[in-house]
Amino acid sequence: MGDKIPILPQTLDYAGMGLVPAGAYNNREFRECMVEFASSVDRITQDVLFDPQTSGGLLICVDRDRADDL
């Protein structure tokens, strides 16, 4: 991907093992008519780019003492 789109380390490795959420395939199906990839962008990278987990902040923090409450 170069430096245009940052991808977390090992993301492509995990995606290559098939660890891609179903939502990525739903996103692809919904938007593939609006997206055109260069032939150099492989299918695994495309899957990562459709990954719904990249669409917003999914990280939360909680005090260790309150973790069980969560």
Provide the domain count of the chain. Answer: 1
pLDDT at 66: 87
pLDDT at 53: 77
Residue 45 lies in a domain: yes
The residue ranking higher by pLDDT, 3 or 13, is 13
Residue 69: pLDDT above 60? Answer: yes
CB atoms within 10 A of CB 27: 19
Name the band, by pLDDT with cuts 50, 70 and 90, for residue 63: confident
What is the phi/psi pair of residue 52, to 5°?
-70, -20
Residue 1 lies in a domain: no
Residue 32 lies in a domain: yes
Range of the domain at 38: 11-66
Residue 3 lies in a domain: no
Residue 4 lies in a domain: no
Residue 6 lies in a domain: no
Cα 15 from chain centroid? Answer: 9
Residue 21 lies in a domain: yes
Each residue's pLDDT tens digit, 7-50? 889 999 999 999 999 999 999 999 989 998 999 999 999 999 99
